[in-house]
Amino acid sequence: MEVMSLIIQISYFVTAVLFIMGLKRMSHPTTARSGIVWAGWGMVLATVVTFLHPEIAGNYLLMIIAIVAGGAIAWWTGKRVAMTDMPQMIAIYNGMGGGAAGAIAAVELVKGGDHHTFIVFLAVLGALIGTVSFSGSCVAWAKLQGVMKKVIRFPGQQKVNLIVFGLMVLLGLIITFYPHLGAFWILLFFLLALAFGYMMAVPIGGADMPVIISLFNAFTGLAVAFEGFVLNNPALIIAGTVVGSAGTLLTQLMARAMNRPISNVLFSSFGEGGGPAMEVTGTMKGMEPMDAAVQMCYASRVVIVPGYGLAVAQAQHKVWELAELLEERGVEVKFAIHPVAGRMPGHMNVLLAEAGVPYDKIFDLEEINNEFGSTDVSLVIGANDVVNPVAKTDPNSPIYGMPILNVDESRNVLVIKRGQGAGFSGIENALFFLDNTHMVYGDAQKVTAALIQHVKTL
């Protein structure tokens, strides 16, 4: 038995090392794929060695059924999901992790036992955070998938949220010090946690979705770590801590990119301006693909700014083909990425990497913002809020103060857009009405294909 216990502990240690090394390699695009493989092998090792755990005896059939069912669903969804649907898949998978942590806590709390008060407290804390992450992530998925289209806000919403949060915490403390109250109070605690996660997420507008996804990711990691302490499982503790800390750091970076304090994120005061926004004046000026191609061909520097519309049109390969043709004509081409472009952190980076765009041509906001003033043409494809100059000029705008890509400072701006509608946050984009901006209307892939043909003939 001691030998078996030693094998299990060593295996969990190796699993933790693989998780940490995998996450480290995921931090750079060139090693991200291998990082996922490393972490995947760590998960395989942790799963296999769990069959040897003495407390698992007799439950093998349930484990195998769960592994086969979960693996089959993950394989099927992973193979068929489109790049445009990746954010909602990440959101729901993250929610499943939080839900699993909550389920582990529920079993431990209902089972009772002679756990130390501190262990019960960790179980309650993990249950609270994991359950909130589960229901909140489900709402995030529903919003991204288009199942839930309304942003629900009402007077006194923050007070209601605070009351639910207070009741949830109070009941959690009571369960901690009186763990044998019964299943009814534990069920009520979980219902309050589910309600609070839902109420956290429903007021959030689309423009802030990357922040909430990374926040719930941090919640899930912390919940898993707490339940690792409850189960005395080093692999869960280390994996949860690493994911929780990475998610917390990412949330801070996303909040900074949106110019929103973490407290604002936590209490859901998203997208609320201080008064009526300034009216956008002027008219949008259209341009044919032929004229846009001429403008880019005779430019010295072109900066391409991708957004979610690029993902929807699956135009990343065509855009890179266009960039290569321009470079063959001596045009310097760069790609500018806003931290919250797309529907999740890193969405655009993954999209461009899929198309084969070299990493040294992709620049973050801080790296390229000072170059727009000397850029001949900025080509905006499907991006909206992250290039909206009202973030710098209108204090009443919901996005006021958010760092944006200074596309408006370019000598010429070309915007590929399907129509004249507002962006995901519902805010009119003043960039489209500037004198130096021209709209090239149409599907991003079809317009880019037309640009390619015209560039070839020039």
Give catalytic residue positions: 385
Euclidean distance between the first and final Cα of the chain, in Å?
A: 77
The SS3 assignment for 300 reads coil
Helix (H) / strand (E) element for 133: namely helix 117-145
Query: What is the token pair recorded at 36?
Result: 């996922």
Helix (H) / strand (E) element for 110: namely helix 86-111
The amino acid sitting at 329 is R
Label residues 235-247 b or e (16+ Cβ within 10 Å = b): bbbbbbbbbbebb
Question: Using CA atoms, how far apart are residues 442 and 293, in angstroms rounded to an integer?
Answer: 15
The SS3 assignment for 284 reads coil
The amino acid sitting at 158 is Q
Torsion sign across C-alpha atoms 216, 221, 340, 37: negative
The amino acid sitting at 275 is G
Q: Are 250 and 214 in contact (CB under 8 A)?
A: yes
